[in-house]
């Protein structure tokens, strides 16, 4: 805890640790929010397959206590380990946009997780090791990680807007959207020939057919009309699809007006598909940042040698310590909260991106497109919350802060699920929901890492942080990713679109259940420190 005799944080150390955090989270934030739309729309993976990708990406966190915490606590300088890991990670993530097969992408995601995941808790433990007052100083340093996430998020969004957003009325020079709609095969070939970078490998009859179905379904929903379906496929491939002929009869729109709506929908579908293709550049940016991070760790971070005083396994001692309250309840809550957290990162970019196609140009000019840039509003609020943590941490109990975080999780999912029913402008409601991320992360995730550090003894803190990282970024994300993928398949509509009300209601109720458990089981004071 802070006291007046603790020395102030030096400018040099502040800069060293702040840039470390900036790069650490910029590397991750460059691609994570965009992974679901990239894999779904660009590579055509199913919801369950994408769930596997997110899950395998968290496997490295399972090994983090062995790979990262134990080595850094006992055998190898933390800054050198971070340098090696980030250089290897840069080589691996550079390959991801060049892969298109399910198994190859899964393999490289697994390898990348092994080298990147352990670095997350180690940047925390390295900071805690050198900071003169963790309550006073860690928030100032950690918020630079949030700034890194914001900068790359908006940067990628602007890049997608400038380089990967074809004109909705004329996707390629000399090729109108009406030409593509009325003559899909010929129009697509002409458009691809005139604009191969943006339209190659994405514009095809399947995209046009899906756009027609989605547009008709949206028109029916807007008029509160029943959605007619028909059976397609046989055996295990059997499913219900939109019956376009009956849909047109139900809408009873003049042909010219119907064609106008279909053309408008196709233009947006082409823009979205092109943006999803361009999201591969996010991996390349992440690799460049990883290279810079590796060099920074090797040559500029303060020396953090391992502790060699004790021969007993640091992991073994850390495991014994987490059996005590409040760590026991905190670790038990970590998995379901991580699952809820994962719903946000898996589905929000695609969810926001679909609304951004309708949004005012001012919003897109500020945040770019694709959803990832708009999500940075959450990180902006996170900065405010993290800046306030040093003040409120001395006035509010840790339990109160955790409860605020869980209430924010539930409120955010409720705003997303019922965005069309809330009497506010849609974009305003979405921005409010995204902004709640600051309270979700700051009051639960950030505070929980503080609690782990406070409740573990000095020479096993890195291992304790890694064990918590295992639960919340390893096991929790694996389980959450699988659930998020399965729920996405369950929440599909007849046209193949996603029913976001059904999808986001699942984590909303889960967050409320976690809040109840916290209120009942988490102690008012640390038993270990009594």
Per-residue pLDDT reduced to its tens digit, 428-442: 899 999 999 989 988
What mean pLDDT is predicted for residues 32-47?
89
Least confident of 291-305, 314-328, 365-379, 484-498: 314-328
pLDDT digits (tens, 9 = 90+) for 354-367: 776 666 567 777 77
What is the C-alpha to C-alpha distance for residues 272 and 438, in angstroms, rounded to an integer?
27
Same domain? 28 vs 129:
yes
Per the structure, the complete domain to which residue 203 belongs is given by 177-276
pLDDT higher than 70, residue 62: yes
Please report where in the chains the tokens 């040099």 appear, as a residue: 12
Same domain? 297 vs 436:
yes
Residue 1 pLDDT grade (very low, low, confident, very high; cuts 50, 70, 90)? very low
217: Cβ–Cβ under 8 A, 6 or more apart, which residues?
227, 242, 247, 493, 494, 495, 497
pLDDT digits (tens, 9 = 90+) for 191-249: 999 999 999 989 998 899 989 998 998 898 888 888 888 887 776 666 778 888 898 88
Same domain? 515 vs 407:
yes
Same domain? 147 vs 193:
no
What is the C-alpha to C-alpha distance for residues 490 and 503, in angstroms, rounded to an integer?
8
10 Å CB burial of residue 492 (0-12, 13-18, 19+) is middle
**Structure confidence at residue 93 (pLDDT):** 96
Of 93, 32, 77, 17, residue with least CA distance to 291: 93
Higher pLDDT, 118 or 336: 336
- The reply to whether 2 falls in a domain is no
- The reply to whether 113 falls in a domain is yes
Boundary (domain end) residue, out of 230, 257, 276? 276
pLDDT higher than 60, residue 6: yes
- The reply to whether 271 falls in a domain is yes
Q: Which pair of structure tokens corresponds to residue 461?
A: 């803190």
Same domain? 45 vs 72:
yes
Of 367, 375, 318, 317, residue with least CA distance to 345: 375
DSSP category for residue 359:
S
- The reply to whether 495 falls in a domain is yes
312: Cβ–Cβ under 8 A, 6 or more apart, which residues?
none
Three-state secondary structure of 217-246: HHHHHHCCCCCCEEEECCHHHCEEEECHHH
Residue 19 pLDDT grade (very low, low, confident, very high; cuts 50, 70, 90)? very high
Same domain? 324 vs 213:
no
Boundary (domain end) residue, out of 276, 297, 314? 276
Of 84, 22, 41, 13, residue with least CA distance to 496: 41
Core vs surface per residue 17-49: b (16+ CB within 10 A) or e:
bbbbbbbbbbbbbbbbbbbbbbbbbbbebebeb
**Structure confidence at residue 236 (pLDDT):** 63
Residue 348 pLDDT grade (very low, low, confident, very high; cuts 50, 70, 90)? confident
Same domain? 132 vs 36:
yes
Same domain? 223 vs 313:
no
Same domain? 133 vs 251:
no
Same domain? 181 vs 156:
no
Indicate which CATH number applies to the domain containing 396.
Answer: 1.20.1250.20
- The reply to whether 530 falls in a domain is no
**Structure confidence at residue 529 (pLDDT):** 43
- The kind and range of the H/E element at 255 are helix 255-278
The pLDDT mean for the chain works out to: 85
Q: In Å, how far are 108, 331, 337, 421, 486 from 501, measured between CA atoms?
A: 33, 30, 20, 10, 15
Least confident of 4-8, 31-35, 500-504: 4-8
Of 489, 479, 469, residue with least CA distance to 510: 479
Same domain? 182 vs 305:
no
Report the share of the chain in percent with pLDDT over 70: 87
Same domain? 189 vs 267:
yes
Q: In Å, how far are 142, 255, 386, 450, 514 from 446, measured between CA atoms?
A: 9, 56, 8, 7, 17
pLDDT digits (tens, 9 = 90+) for 98-157: 999 999 999 999 999 888 988 887 898 889 888 988 878 887 898 899 899 999 999 999
Prior bond to 197 cis, omega within 30?
no
**Structure confidence at residue 190 (pLDDT):** 95
**Structure confidence at residue 225 (pLDDT):** 86
CB-based contact 304:131 (threshold 8 Å): no
Most confident of 26-30, 251-255, 448-452: 26-30
- The reply to whether 324 falls in a domain is yes
Alpha helices in 119-254 (DSSP H): 119-130, 134-163, 177-182, 184-194, 196-199, 205-222, 244-251
**Structure confidence at residue 4 (pLDDT):** 59
Residue 513 pLDDT grade (very low, low, confident, very high; cuts 50, 70, 90)? very high
pLDDT digits (tens, 9 = 90+) for 395-417: 888 888 999 999 999 999 999 99
In the chain, how many domains are there? 2
**Structure confidence at residue 343 (pLDDT):** 86
**Structure confidence at residue 530 (pLDDT):** 42
- The reply to whether 308 falls in a domain is yes
What is the C-alpha to C-alpha distance for residues 41 and 38, in angstroms, rounded to an integer?
6
Boundary (domain end) residue, out of 276, 296, 328? 276
């Amino acid at each position: 805890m802070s006291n007046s005799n603790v020395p102030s944080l030096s400018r040099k150390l502040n800069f060293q640790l702040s840039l470390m955090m900036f790069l650490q989270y910029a590397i991750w934030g460059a691609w994570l929010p965009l992974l679901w739309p990239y894999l779904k729309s660009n590579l055509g993976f199913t919801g369950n397959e994408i769930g596997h990708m997110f899950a395998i990406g968290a496997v490295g966190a399972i090994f983090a206590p062995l790979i990262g915490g134990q080595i850094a606590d006992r055998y190898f300088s933390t800054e050198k380990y971070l340098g090696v890991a980030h250089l290897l990670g840069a080589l691996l993530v550079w390959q991801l946009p060049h892969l298109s097969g399910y198994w190859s992408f899964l393999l490289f995601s697994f390898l990348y997780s092994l080298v990147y995941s352990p670095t997350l808790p180690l940047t925390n433990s390295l900071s805690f090791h050198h900071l003169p007052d963790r309550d006073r100083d860690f928030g100032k340093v950690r918020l630079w990680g949030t700034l890194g996430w914001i900068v790359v998020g908006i940067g990628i969004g602007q890049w997608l807007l400038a380089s990967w957003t074809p004109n909705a009325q004329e996707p390629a020079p000399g090729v109108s959207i009406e030409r593509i709609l009325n003559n899909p095969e010929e129009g697509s070939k002409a458009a691809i020939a005139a604009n191969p970078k943006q339209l190659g490998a994405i514009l095809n009859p399947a995209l046009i057919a899906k756009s027609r179905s989605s547009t008709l379904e949206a028109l029916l929903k807007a008029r509160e009309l029943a959605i007619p379906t028909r059976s397609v496929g046989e055996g295990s491939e059997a499913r219900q699809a939109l019956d376009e002929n009956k849909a047109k009869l139900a809408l009873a729109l003049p042909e010219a007006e119907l064609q106008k709506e279909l053309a408008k929908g196709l233009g947006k579908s082409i823009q979205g598909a092109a943006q999803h293709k361009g999201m591969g550049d996010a991996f390349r940016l992440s690799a460049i940042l990883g290279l810079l991070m590796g060099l920074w760790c090797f040559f500029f971070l303060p020396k953090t040698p391992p502790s060699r005083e004790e021969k007993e396994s640091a992991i073994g001692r850390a495991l014994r310590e987490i059996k005590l309250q409040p760590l026991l309840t905190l670790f038990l809550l970590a998995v379901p909260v991580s699952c809820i957290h994962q719903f946000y990162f898996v589905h929000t970019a695609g969810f926001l991106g679909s609304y951004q196609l309708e949004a005012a140009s001012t919003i897109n000019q500020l945040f770019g497109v694709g959803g990832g840039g708009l999500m940075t509003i959450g990180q902006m609020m996170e900065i405010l919350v993290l800046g306030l943590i040093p003040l409120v941490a001395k006035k509010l109990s840790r339990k109160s802060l955790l409860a605020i975080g869980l209430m924010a999780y539930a409120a955010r999912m409720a705003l997303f699920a019922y965005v069309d029913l809330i009497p506010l402008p849609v974009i305003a409601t979405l921005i409010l929901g995204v902004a709640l991320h600051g309270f979700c992360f700051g009051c639960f995730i950030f505070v929980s890492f503080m609690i782990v550090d406070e409740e573990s003894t000095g020479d096993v803190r890195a291992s304790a942080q890694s064990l918590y990282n295992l639960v919340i970024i390893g096991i929790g994300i694996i389980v959450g990713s699988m659930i998020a993928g399965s729920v996405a398949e369950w929440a599909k509509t007849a046209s193949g679109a996603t029913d976001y009300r059904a999808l986001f209601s699942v984590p909303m109720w889960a967050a409320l259940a976690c809040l109840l458990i916290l209120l009942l089981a988490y102690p008012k004071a640390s038993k270990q420190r009594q």
